[in-house]
Amino acid sequence: MKVTCQVVTTPSADTSGTSVLLSLEAKKYLLGNLHEGIQRALLQRKVKTARICDFFLTGKTEWKNIGGLLGMLLTLADQETARKADHQTKLEEAIERNRAFAEGRGGGGTAPTIPEPFEKKSLTIHGNDNLMHAIGTTRSFVFRTSMNTNFNEITEDFVDEFLKVHPMKIYPDGYVQNAMDTSALADSSGTSFNSGRKRSCNGELIAPRTREEVLKSVVRDMFNSAWTMDTLMPEDEVPPNEDAPVPDANAPPAPPALSKMVRAPWPAAMVRRLPQSKPSAASLSYFVILHPQRGRFLPQIAKELGVTPGPQFRELTEGRSVTTPNGRVVIPEECMEPQKPGKNILVLDIPDRSYVGPLLARDELQDEGLEATVFWLLGPEVAKDERLWEKMQTWTKTTNVVSSPDICPNSITLVGAAKAATKLNLLHPDHFPIPICENEPKMAVPEGLTNLILAKPQQQLSILPKFELQQLPIPMTLEDGRFDIEGVRAAAEPEYIKLAKEARENVEKAEISEELGEFPGKEVEIIPLGTGSAMPSKYRNVSATLLRVPGAGSILFDCGEATLGQLARLYGQEKLPEVLRDIKCIYISHLHADHHLGTAAVLKAIHQVKHNGKSVPPIPSKTAIPGPDAPMTDADLTPTVSSLLDTSDNIMWVIGLGKYDGLLKEYADVEDIGYSWIRYIATEEIRTGQGKTLRYLEPFYKALSILEIQTAKANHCVGASTCAFTWKDGFKFAYSGDTRPTQEFVRIGQGATLVLHEATFDDELRGEALAKKHSTTSEAIKAGMDMGAKALMLTHFSQRYPKLPVIAEEGHGKQKMKVALAFDMMKIKVGEFWRFEKFIPALRELYKDEADEEDALVVVEDDAKPEKTPKAQGKKNEKKQKRVEARAKNIRSGDDQWNSRGGRGGGKRGVEGSKQQPEELLPTEEVIALSEAATQSIPKGLTNLKQVLPGYF
């Protein structure tokens, strides 16, 4: 049997932790950290994921260790949806061939084989305390049932047909462990916790439950529920929206209404709040033991015992006894070499130095003759502890692979994205910076350790049949691990280099006063950190945009997974704290996962640099800023609290759908992300002018020098918003989030200086845009022109189509609106938007031959296949069209879990769940007709993308 361990990631700006892929011939296991960015790393490394059936998470339950888990689960679940659609297509084709065969239309031979029944993939996530609580906080927007997903807060050995995994929970020095109470919990009023329900969706009474029962039920209902869209329940039993306006107490009572049946929310969304938890100090490590291997079969001895070669040989090699022709029973052990003991693999996660002593004192680690491959996952400063190196010296029969931020260089993980950025840098270094990487480790390791290996991405250790270390190649990377910047530049096409030079010269010659003149906000800088949609890809991350307003502070508009890593790669470790300290607000447009899964990491990083990780002292219930009641005078506040609240830089503002505040609050039970410093403002309350969070608006305006915020409903999913921010100096910024074009957004964005608008689909795919409630290029540009905007940036491009909208080389509309396309980690000031049109000829040349280079996220397990012939490609396209039609049929029938992959959310209703009806979807034939007629609606001045920049996607 062949067994390998591959180092997928090590600590870097792109990937905050270490992950190791344990591969056997029939199964794979992922051990270590499932950090943000793990999907892009797997894609970049071309790691196959289809046979991964178990995740073993190490360390503490913190976002830096589990931040990529949800995105990974959504991806794997959607792979299963696609696999099921493929299976259904093959089944229907086989049934049709059998029908033709039975009718004599199938030619000669035997009847076609019917595929086996579809079997769901099963996946189990093993982790530490609070794993289920952390996942449960996302129940409002995560709902997938396409694969059997299970969560195990592991306390006992895991055993399957290949190995045993022994968990080791380690607590820091001096820690006194208190068992968490799992009896029936009480809420703040002292009543037993019942998750806010009196009855289930089936009308059954719900008895008080323990914390563990509630959490198991929630995560089960998120991934393994039998709920369907036709599940009904009485309307008066649907849980109310806690954030709905409170009825006027003086109003006359409403007449009793007849109860009617409405569609029930999926069960997990019925849980209004999770039982309270608290951060766990435990760090989880694993001792993996492969099962013993049978010895080599000895055929000569078998023959001497009278065994007949052939099937009886096979029976013996598979461990079964046989009876010889003369009646003798031969057991396998008689003709096999002695059994080989199983190999040992240890994954030891040490968050800080206080865990070193307790870990090394574990009974499992006392055998100095231990034979094992040991992966040391070390936190900051841990590598400086001499006790670790002394332990490695005593383990003379071990191979020690050490991964640490102090030892592993901050090398480029996403070399595909770095390659694109390096080529763009030739166009203009100020606008397209090269990602920062530090290739020198912070400390050296002790000399003389012959059994030490420094972890590097793409290291592969062969465990069986014999130990061997191999460094798998990483494209565009030098032998010492540095990204090959000069090699990438040298490989650029000469014509592109020529056009890039001309573009820089044209920019230097131009006068800004002739282009846009003087206006408020021209020094405001916009920095797209993620410009893709739905899921991260090799070249583009998911949605996030940083707006830096001089003298007022920065705002992060949406915060998809790995946003913090993008900031770290753009600014480097030295400048990053300054950038984080300047971020005063995070705005979340809606609750699709690709727009906010990076929020927890960013909030914690800001909490560290602003408050040194310390929470605000307890605050009286009646205060000017955080209290829900009438404000008190300064005399009523303690001096410490008063001074904290008077310093606006200490406050972190978050604006989004009201329900998202509940998610942050629940997750703060697991990990301190600085929630006590957060002041939350609900977008729906800004829109309606009613609600308890509006008391924070005036302090927010003062803290960021803002005059007004306006929000309007987006035409995308329930709770989605568009917004417009106006600063006191007259600068106005409008952000679409995800939406179809709406008049309300145009209204609130009137006179905008800068508009950031999604352009998910090309104009020829307008039918897709209608079905999935996104905008096309021309629709986004028209919205900007209707607003009278000075500048427009297009973003949120589809990851699924190798095409890019292109803009005219002159301004749009009477006001000559300047339009730019967003690239990941691009930096441009509003007053510099005129420059972008100078870049278009070079960009056209750069991407002309790179169509179809974009890789889909790892969805297949097959090895690379030769290029298809035109005939084979035609059959592939025909099958793809059938899958698209089947998917459209599923959407209309309600079998597609309410949303295509374009939204990554748990359904069209988002967190509101209960009384919202599914949004109308167009019939397939109507979508096709709209797609065919799409080009008729393209405004003048636009050029079809196919002829210009096909390869950017």
Query: What is the residue extent of each domain of the chain?
Result: 294-339, 509-622+643-857
Question: How far, in Å, CA of 583 to CA of 602, rounded?
Answer: 10
Q: List the structure tokens of 579.
A: 């950038």
pLDDT in tens, 531-565: 998 888 888 999 999 999 999 999 999 999 999 99
Strand order in the sheet with 468-471: 148-153, 122-127, 52-57, 28-32, 19-23, 3-9, 459-464, 468-471
Handedness of CA 873, 541, 351, 282 (dihedral sign): negative
Among 556, 567, 568, 723, smallest CA distance to 654 is for 556
The alpha carbon torsion through 668, 674, 678, 684 (nearest 10 deg) reads: -40
Q: List the structure tokens of 409.
A: 């260089």
E strand map for 650-770: 652-656, 678-682, 706-713, 721-727, 732-735, 754-758
Instruction: Quote the pLDDT of residue 260.
Output: 67
Q: Is the pTM of this model over 0.75?
A: yes
Handedness of CA 62, 63, 68, 71 (dihedral sign): positive
Question: How far, in Å, CA of 586 to CA of 655, rounded?
Answer: 6
Q: Report the amino acid identity of residue 913.
A: G
E strand map for 784-843: 791-795, 818-821, 828-829
Question: How far, in Å, CA of 270 to CA of 199, rounded?
Answer: 10
Is the CB of residue 883 less than 8 Å from the CB of residue 875?
A: no
At residue 98 the predicted structure's pLDDT band, cuts being 50, 70 and 90, is: confident
User: Mapping DSSP to helix (H, G, I), strand (E, B) and coil, where does residue 212 land?
Assistant: helix
Q: List the structure tokens of 102.
A: 């039975």
Is the CB of residue 686 less than 8 Å from the CB of residue 711?
A: yes
Q: Which residue has the higher pLDDT, 486 or 1?
A: 486
Instruction: Quote the pLDDT of residue 737.
Output: 96
Q: List the structure tokens of 347.
A: 């994954």
Instruction: Quote the pLDDT of residue 79.
Output: 87
**Percentage with pLDDT > 70 across the chain:** 76
pLDDT in tens, 822-835: 999 999 999 999 99
Is residue 174 pLDDT above 80, yes or no? Answer: yes
Owner of token pair 């007709």: 929
3-state helix, strand, coil in the chain (%, to 5): 35, 20, 45
Q: List the structure tokens of 321.
A: 């006894």
Is residue 179 pLDDT above 70, yes or no? Answer: no
User: Mapping DSSP to helix (H, G, I), strand (E, B) and coil, where does residue 470 land?
Assistant: strand
Average pLDDT on 417-432 reads 94
User: Mapping DSSP to helix (H, G, I), strand (E, B) and coil, where does residue 235 land?
Assistant: helix
Q: How far apart are the first and last CA of the chain?
A: 41
* Residue 402 bridge partners (DSSP): 376, 454
Instruction: Quote the pLDDT of residue 879.
Output: 52
Question: How far, in Å, CA of 355 to CA of 173, rounded?
Answer: 6
Question: How far, in Å, CA of 914 to CA of 234, rounded?
Answer: 11
Among 369, 416, 358, smallest CA distance to 396 is for 369
Cβ-Cβ contacts under 8 Å for 246 (sequence gap 6 or more):
none
User: Mapping DSSP to helix (H, G, I), strand (E, B) and coil, where does residue 873 land?
Assistant: helix
The alpha carbon torsion through 781, 786, 787, 789 (nearest 10 deg) reads: 50
pLDDT in tens, 657-669: 999 999 999 999 9
Owner of token pair 């030098």: 478
At residue 239 the predicted structure's pLDDT band, cuts being 50, 70 and 90, is: low
Is the CB of residue 421 less than 8 Å from the CB of residue 825?
A: yes
Instruction: Quote the pLDDT of residue 762.
Output: 87
Domain range 509-622+643-857, its CATH number among 3.40.50.620, 3.40.1010.10, 3.40.630.30, 3.60.15.10: 3.60.15.10
pLDDT in tens, 737-751: 999 999 999 999 999
Instruction: Quote the pLDDT of residue 683.
Output: 97
Is residue 932 pLDDT above 60, yes or no? Answer: no
Residue 148 DSSP code: E
Is residue 180 pLDDT above 80, yes or no? Answer: no
Alpha-carbon distances of 868 from 385, 871, 873, 874, rounded to whole Å: 56, 8, 6, 9
pLDDT in tens, 616-654: 755 443 334 444 343 433 433 333 444 444 456 789 999
Question: How far, in Å, CA of 534 to CA of 715, rounded?
Answer: 17
Alpha-carbon distances of 531 from 309, 361, 730, 953, rounded to whole Å: 63, 48, 27, 10
Most confident of 24-38, 212-226, 910-924, 928-942: 24-38
Owner of token pair 């493929």: 86
User: Mapping DSSP to helix (H, G, I), strand (E, B) and coil, where does residue 875 land?
Assistant: helix
Instruction: Quote the pLDDT of residue 103.
Output: 80
In 10 A of CB 862, how many CB atoms?
7
Q: Report the amino acid identity of residue 286.
A: Y
At residue 910 the predicted structure's pLDDT band, cuts being 50, 70 and 90, is: very low
What does the mean pLDDT of the chain come to?
Answer: 81
Instruction: Quote the pLDDT of residue 870.
Output: 43
Instruction: Quote the pLDDT of residue 111.
Output: 76
Is the CB of residue 363 less than 8 Å from the CB of residue 344?
A: no
Question: How far, in Å, CA of 242 to CA of 691, rounded?
Answer: 11
Residue 712 DSSP code: E
**Percentage with pLDDT > 90 across the chain:** 58
| Lowest mean pLDDT segment, chosen from 419-433, 515-529, 694-708 | 515-529
Is residue 927 pLDDT above 60, yes or no? Answer: no
Cβ-Cβ contacts under 8 Å for 645 (sequence gap 6 or more):
619, 623, 624, 625, 626, 637, 651
Instruction: Quote the pLDDT of residue 19.
Output: 97
At residue 614 the predicted structure's pLDDT band, cuts being 50, 70 and 90, is: confident
Largest CA-CA distance found in the chain, in angstroms, rounded: 103
Question: How far, in Å, CA of 370 to CA of 364, rounded?
Answer: 10
Among 435, 460, 452, smallest CA distance to 378 is for 452
Chain CA centroid to CA 447, Å: 40
Question: How far, in Å, CA of 730 to CA of 711, rounded?
Answer: 18
Most confident of 113-117, 619-623, 774-778: 774-778
